[in-house]
Structure 1
Amino acid sequence: MTLQGYSMTTAPQFVGRELGASEWLMVDQPQIDAFAECTGDRQWIHVDVDRARRESPFGTPIAHGYLTLSLVAATVLEIGIIPPDATTGLNYGLDKVRFIAPVKAGTRVRNRASLIAAEPQNGGRVLLKLRCTLEIENEPKPALVADILCMLMGESDGH
């Protein structure tokens, strides 16, 4: 998605505005299982479907919090936070993350991002701070709210 008039130079003009929302993304049990395999976090509430149905307060397995957080990166790219005049955008970290509601296996999420800061840096770089809200379809509360940092790199960086 392209944001009309959005560039490294004009990014500060977008502070305080919602940049957009990603498409809905399914979080299913095979994805949860793959995340568990990659991270070694095989807690039953995520991977034991039968036990989660019997014993979990959610009645089904739930995604790992860090799985839901990891979805933020790809979905902000979909929204278009890296303007066309940037050579790349680098993950620069997180300022704050709150996990608010669990994502049940088989539900869809989307990211809604607002720009809360755009600070020019040395070398033609711009540090973005975005407030990302990972919404859960048909749920009143989001899965998480995260303030993420992205360093935009321009042509003058030599990259």
Structure 2
Amino acid sequence: MRRAIVLVLALGMLLVCAGLLACGGQGRDETAPPPADEEASPPDEGASTASAAGLTWDDIPIYAAAKQIQKGGWAIPPAEGDWSKVEWRYYQMADVDTVAMVSMFYRMEMPKNGWQEMMWMEVQDATWAYYSKNDEQHGALVWVGSDEGRTVFALMRATR
């Protein structure tokens, strides 16, 4: 239950960040269309880095020894300035890897893969980071935290 609450909070934070960055309404009353395709499923151990929504994960490094325990995504009809395809993946770590270790890995490795850090926020036992690339056409959110004594992290990938 605690893991679900943490994941919901992380995804909520992600949506707030995406909404703030993607505001394109120019003051008009506009409502985004509802999700047309939404999924959540356990990971396929033999899956490639490509996703069903057409997003690639080749430029987002995965922390060594991380075990993917959940994934999901959605696609909506494109609207100007909005993310049209979003996917996320949730990982669990061995007991020895701390939130700080996983956070620093992403802070060092994401720029090596062409991502520009747009936001970095740390609180006790949690870190959020937002990255963009290709003139903000692609976005990525990294959330690292702790659940029942184990380090967990979520990665989100979005495109316009």
Name which one, 1 or 2, has greater alpha-carbon Rg: 1
TM-score in terms of structure 1 length: 0.32
TM-score in terms of structure 2 length: 0.32
